[in-house]
Structure 1
Amino acid sequence: MKRAAPGELAPVLYHQTVASFSMPEWAVAAGYDGVILDLQHGELGLEAACGILRSIPRDNAYAYARVGSLDPAPILRLLDSGARGIVAPTVESRSQAEALVAATKYPPAGNRSLGPSRPALYPGDSYTGAGNRAVSAVAQIETRAGVDRAEEIVSTPGLDSVYIGPADLAVSHGLPGRGDWEDGPVREAIAHLREVTAAHGVTLGIYSGRPEYAAGLLADGLVDYVGLGIDLVLLNRAFGDTIAGLDSARSARSNS
């Protein structure tokens, strides 16, 4: 994950939890830059996620996958299928960040096994060098412990980005499990992580459910990219708005 150049818009991704091949295409057509396939909380299994990744054009730099653990085996399968970023949840230590880098990067940066299974995935003079540049190791910080150890996590060689999980971070502070905090310890953590990541040349992202909140963070320079919305939540909203519109139209007709 690279910072947007001056004049460029910051990348916007969405979380996908269902095994749909068409959803990434529709999302990009609507203006999203990419997807975070959710193998941690969603309905997606490894086989479905690998199939979806193969359906996404190879040049999409934001085909990401969030795994359920640091087990290198599924991470390897996802990468060989075309994942351009691996998001590891609940990173709270330097050793966990190192394990993420080891599973995500080819030697000498990591321990990823070389077994190309998708043609021309990393074009260039050095396949492994191009692969290491193309793939982002993303540590999700979503607890007080992770924030407290941000310096040791972010300074891990080979780590490319930090992704904030605001709801779990709020829960770790004894607050309601929601995102889009305007103040309090979650907002303070965002500012702190901005300072630490900027100092180490690591990008920072966050999940948000509200476009106006995400726009504010981007405008204030607090994050470099956002995960905006979850597929099932977006569908639920569309279903609700459609039925509400029908009920309103019915009511207007019955009163006319």
Structure 2
Amino acid sequence: MKKLLRTSDRILIYASFLGDFAYDSIKNSSKSRNLHRPAFLLGSSDDGAITRTTYRLLKANSLEKIVKNGKPYLRITPAGWDNFCRDFPLFEFQDKPWNGYWSVVNYDIPEKERGVRNSLREKLVSLGFGQWKKSVYISPHDFGGDIRDWVSERELDSYVSVSEARELSFDEKKLVWDVFNLSKISENYDELLKKYKEGKIPVGKILQEYFNLLLMDPLLPKELLPNDWLGFKVKKALLGSGKIK
């Protein structure tokens, strides 16, 4: 799911993944650099762009103003969430319980169609699929319909099959650890958590690194992850810091 982040993307990722943030922190962003502002803004060199983008998202009904404990906050709206998930489809599945089914894509595309084959692989990777075998990609998320549409539009039905499977392994946690290279992702989260605890790097920089890691994370269901998954620990640490609200 690796993708370059626009200012609007960072704001919506913050709102969708880490929750509401103070309206005054945006309203006064060009006048203040205190820690009550959303931390991802702290490393920005253009406060005005962030303020303008936030107001544009409010006008487009992607964000809404709410009141909590007598103070105004910004929250992502259902419309904003839908638009956001079109660009970052994996986020739609965060915190949702897994139904136990896998999307399985198997292909046999001739060498003369190498370009099409590469495009299919890129599409699968963009949706967070992992390569299980040479020409087989899997995902615990329900992207079967998306892939079928993509395949049909390119008239590749005779080369590509899309199916659902209930069980792929006796130890599916071990399966995803290998297929999705979770050891590397865990290592990245561990390094970020250490940086955060050391307190030598501004919270805004930490949060920017966190967002970049999220874009490389397949965001697998909790049922397939270790109970002590470091992605959970990093999110909990950031939410509990009091510095990003």
TM over 0.5: no
TM score, norm. by length of structure 1: 0.26
Greater Rg over alpha carbons, structure: 2
More helix per residue: 2
